[in-house]
A = this chain, B = another copy of it.
Amino acid sequence: MFIDGLQYCNWSNKIFEDWRSANLTAVHVTISYHEQFRETVSNFEKWNVYFENFSNLIMPAYTISDIEYAKANKKTAVIFGFQNPSPIEDDIGLIKILYRLGGRFMQLTYNNQSLLASGCYEEKDNGLSRMGKEVIEEMNRVGLIIDMSHSGEKSTIEAIEHSKLPITISHANPSFWHNAKRNKSNEILKLLASKGGILGLSLYPHHLKNNSNCTLDSFCKMIIDLIELIGIDHIGFGSDLCQDQPDSVVEWMRVGRWTKKIDYGEGSASNSGFPKMPSWFKGNKDWKNILNKLQELGLKQEEIDKIKGLNWFNFLKKTKGFR
């Protein structure tokens, strides 16, 4: 079982073949950032065409059985998520609709304040809004997993506490290793784990110690420290991999339609595009480097298996949405 908790690649035959070479069982795929409902539907339409054209490589994952079927039949199961609540607009009824269409994860915010909560780039974070609480309850009822990767500290804590089901931070790293707006405090990580949640470890350079120059050794030693802090059962990968994407895409992620200026997010005017990936993880072909290093550092195979996908699988099994 090998599951990546987040990717947003420039989808193509090549990417899907890389997934198969890496033997990825399932990938949580971002299907929209700032896209409204109808735009998100168009993205689902595009994926339906991928599923038709590349049915030998990929399939949609609506249930745990789909993921098991993918594993048995050497395909990669695609789990859909939204990085912002834009697709539900101001309409709570769209949660069930998007679930029916295949959505299984939704972030309550993407860096900025949303109708539901606050993002990690806002100066102030009031926690959950009135609609935010309603949406968490409906997501719990329907089976959409709450993802707080891009949310502020207070919003994240309140979401973990308000949700009756475990939530995820699908792609971020611990602040104790690299202090960045997108990385998470020990308080959040411990609370997340204590409630049965899961953290997907990011390989996006801005989330890594020394960014693009991060060493494989440092990344893997952080995992060992994190096991110490929150226990091994709450850790997976969420690579945040944007393989083959042009720089215009990172601008869309950061700027959407919320400003007329340029927002550089974690980047800067002199480094405005996608950051250079670390030499040991340039794409889906490089997973083996991390897995080998974890073994070299003394992790047992059963521990590596958990981090590699079993923890994600068990987490998804617990949630309502994959039954």
Q: Which residues of A does B touch, CB under 8 Å?
A: 37-38, 41-42, 44-46, 48-49, 91, 93-94, 96-97, 100-102
Query: Residues of B contacting A102 with CB < 8 Å?
Result: 100
Residue of B nearest to A142 (CB): B48
Q: Among the listed B41, B46, B48, B97, which residue makes an inter-chain contact with A44, where contact means beta carbons less than 8 Å apart?
A: B97
Query: Residues of B contacting A100 with CB < 8 Å?
Result: 44, 100-102
- List 14 additional contacts besides A45-B96, A45-B97; criterion CB under 8 Å: A37-B38, A37-B41, A41-B94, A41-B97, A42-B93, A44-B97, A44-B100, A45-B94, A46-B93, A48-B93, A97-B101, A100-B101, A100-B102, A101-B101
Query: Residues of B contacting A44 with CB < 8 Å?
Result: 97, 100
Please give the distance in Å from A210's CB to the nearest CB on chain B.
44
Residue of B nearest to A45 (CB): B93
Query: Residues of B contacting A41 with CB < 8 Å?
Result: 37, 94, 97
Residue of B nearest to A92 (CB): B45
Copies of this protein in the assembly total 2
Please give the distance in Å from A96's CB to the nearest CB on chain B.
5
The CA-CA distance from A97 to B102 in the complex, in Å, is 10
Query: Residues of B contacting A101 with CB < 8 Å?
Result: 97, 100-101
Query: Residues of B contacting A93 with CB < 8 Å?
Result: 42, 45-46, 48-49
The CA-CA distance from A91 to B38 in the complex, in Å, is 12
Query: Residues of B contacting A94 with CB < 8 Å?
Result: 41, 45
Please give the distance in Å from A41's CB to the nearest CB on chain B.
6
The CA-CA distance from A91 to B45 in the complex, in Å, is 10
23 A–B contacts, CB within 8 A, in A order: A37-B38, A37-B41, A38-B38, A41-B94, A41-B97, A42-B93, A44-B97, A44-B100, A45-B91, A45-B93, A45-B94, A45-B96, A45-B97, A46-B93, A48-B93, A48-B96, A48-B97, A49-B93, A97-B101, A100-B100, A100-B101, A100-B102, A101-B101
Residue of B nearest to A60 (CB): B100
Query: Residues of B contacting A48 with CB < 8 Å?
Result: 93, 96-97
The CA-CA distance from A200 to B138 in the complex, in Å, is 38
Residue of B nearest to A91 (CB): B45
The CA-CA distance from A42 to B37 in the complex, in Å, is 12
The CA-CA distance from A37 to B94 in the complex, in Å, is 13
The CA-CA distance from A96 to B101 in the complex, in Å, is 10
